[in-house]
Amino acid sequence: MIKPTDCRTNQTSKEHFGRIHRWYSPYFLAIVLTLSYVSTNAEIAPLRALPGHQRTVELINYFIQRYHYRTTQLNDELSSQILDRYIETLDVNRSYFLAADIDGFEQMRFHVDDYLRQQELDPIFELFDLYRERAVDRAKFSMRVLSEGFDLNIPESYRFNRSTSPWPTDQAQLDDIWRRRVKNDYLSLKLAGQSHDVILKTLGDRYRQLNRRTKQITSTDVFETFINAYITSVEPHTSYFSPRSTENFKIRMSLSLEGIGAVLQTENEYTVVRRIVAGGPAERSKLLIAGDRIIGVGQNEDRPLVDVIGWRLDDVVDLIRGPKNSMVRLRILPQQEGPDASGRIISIVRDTIRLEEQAAQKSVISVERGDHVYRLGVIDLPTFYVDFDGRSSGKTDYRSTTRDVTRLVKELQTENIDGLIIDLRGNGGGALTEATNLTGLFIEQGPIVQVKDAKGRIRIKHDSDPTIVYRGTLAVLVDGNSASASEIFAGAIQDYGRGIVIGEPTYGKGTVQNLIDLDRYARNEDEELGQLKFTIAQFFRINGDSTQHRGVVPDVLLPTARDDIEHGERGLENALPWQQIASTRYRPFDQSDLTTAVSNIPIPPPNTCCRSSRI
């Protein structure tokens, strides 16, 4: 845990660097970075903080220091951790920066906290500018090595993971690392059976794409990267969403968006349709298919088309998304046409898209035992979702996990199932309210989870509705990636004795996050600041145990080849420790009606249900 430090070493370093702070920051740092690497990419304009970034830092400092579950202060200890994490985020494989660069960054070690306190971001952006220049230079170097060729008769090795290797001492050593990397890339494709000409084209496209994407990085990207290095140094589940990331987060939680219903990806300079979403406007129009390349986007009938070749994918997506019932025009290049073709223009009217692949799904499996065939209903639940905006605005048909599962359970009951399986494998969590509401479908009324805030106060989340949607035999499938809300649900089912939990020990995330819309605190209407998700509490099972670190241990353990020591919360830096509080009063579920049924229904073997893993 990071606490205020008054030790002599910390204070001495602060005073020592404080005396020279006004001499080198940020101006001296700029000189250090410039001298350590003479830019060969003068065409790349330096990136700098945007007007709203200072206000965002000010607000994040306020919320983290006042309301975060973990007591936090901006000090030298945290400053050092932030710098290390920021550098690691940029160059985790130690393949861009030189040892001299890292030595130069030491000037910042005990001053990142000062930059944050003063909202001084220039040194942070200058460090990133150096990284970007290095990355562009490495892309160009790779293309040069590829064109010059190399001796394949010389036996050499290439280290894929350099995260713990020494930083390259000079340019020659860095060049050698990348020469070996290109050679390894070539040999990998050669062993895969590709011809020399195909390999040259494939790798050339790959390195040009690295060059292009690096140049497309924006100030918002840099800011988001740095701020997340800052707040994940406090605790791993605290994170910042830029305005664009905020929109994507809302889409993930509500499982809906307004657009045309197509999944896009970048291939070389083109935005390519990877697949069409079933039931969306694109599918209904029959004008767009997988493999089509989008080369121009226009709004309505009268707005000009904008050429989007070479654009960042998220910028293209921003143009294509839009309000329901509005029109977007696309110039597309069919997959079979060459780059010189003019393509054709299509018009699609936007609509609300339901992202059904992330919603709860049902199925029925049959398992034979003796002369009887048992029908087991399965509800596959990838995430705990809820349309926050729809719920808060009073929308009667807003989407949520509990509403969907209620409907699916009732449908399964009409199919005369003998038992029900809730499949939470790979479910990383989501809305806490949905975990408590979902549990309430299977018990009468009572406590579901205990929540302890930063001041030590404990609140109990109850199910106050005595109605039970399903009273039959129940099993919950979990694995090492079932986390957070999944663990609340599985733990409550286990504590009540309502069903059996089957699978692997779960992830071990026992913390509660709150989402703050920073735009509410903007100084003017034009400022878009994003959102802050930070840990405000820790949840505990009704038996008093925390799921933090330990997770939920299933009643029926299935074997796994994974090393659980480093998996999940146990493998994260700065994670909160396991704790225990007093049990709350609750009455176990009356299973008298289920005793006979449970003994007759076999447990299906692993992978009988819908999936074995989810990535």
**Is the pLDDT at 310 greater than 70, yes or no?**
yes
Query: Which residue is catalytic, options 484, 486, 545, 546?
Result: 484
Q: Which residues, listed in sequence order, are joined to residue 531 by a DSSP beta bridge?
A: 241, 517
Least confident piece of the model among 443-447, 520-524, 560-564: 560-564
Condensed to tens digits (0 to 9), the pLDDT of residues 560-601 reads: 766 666 678 888 888 888 899 999 998 888 766 554 444 554
Are 530 and 58 in contact by the 8 Å Cβ rule? The answer is no
| Residue 495 annotated among the catalytic residues of the structure | yes
Q: Is the pLDDT of residue 20 over 60?
A: no
The per-residue pLDDT for range 97-154, each reduced to its tens digit, is: 999 999 999 999 999 999 999 999 999 999 999 999 999 999 999 999 999 998 888 9
CATH of range 357-449+463-508+545-600; options 3.40.50.620, 3.90.1420.10, 1.50.40.10, 3.90.226.10? 3.90.226.10
Helices (H) and strands (E) in the chain, counts: 18, 19
Total residue length of the chain = 615
pLDDT of residue 17: 33
Task: Please answer whether residues 367 and 374 qualify as being in contact, where contact means their C-beta atoms are separated by less than 8 angstroms.
Answer: yes
Residue 246 confidence (pLDDT) above 70: yes
Reply yes or no on whether the pLDDT at 614 is more than 50: no
Residue 255 has pLDDT above 60, yes or no: yes
Question: Encoding tokens for residue 342?
Answer: 């003019």
Q: What is the pLDDT of residues 318-350, one digit of tens each?
A: 899 999 999 999 999 998 887 777 789 999 999
pLDDT tens column, 175-213: 999 999 999 999 988 888 889 999 999 899 889 988 988
Average pLDDT, the chain: 86
Domain ranges of the chain: 8-234, 256-354, 357-449+463-508+545-600
Question: Is residue 362 among the annotated active site residues?
Answer: no
**Does an H or E element contain 26, and which?**
none
Mean pLDDT for 239-249 is 87
Question: Among candidates 160, 114, 123, which has minimal Cα distance to 34?
Answer: 123
- CATH homologous superfamily for 256-354? PDZ domain (2.30.42.10)
Q: Which of 463, 495, 545, 546 is catalytic?
A: 495
| pLDDT value at residue 244 | 85
More confident residue, 354 or 373: 373
Chain centroid to Cα 102, Å, comes to 28
**pLDDT score for 336:** 83
Q: What is the pTM of this model?
A: 0.78
Do 256-354 and 357-449+463-508+545-600 have matching folds? no
Clarify whether 509 is annotated catalytic: yes
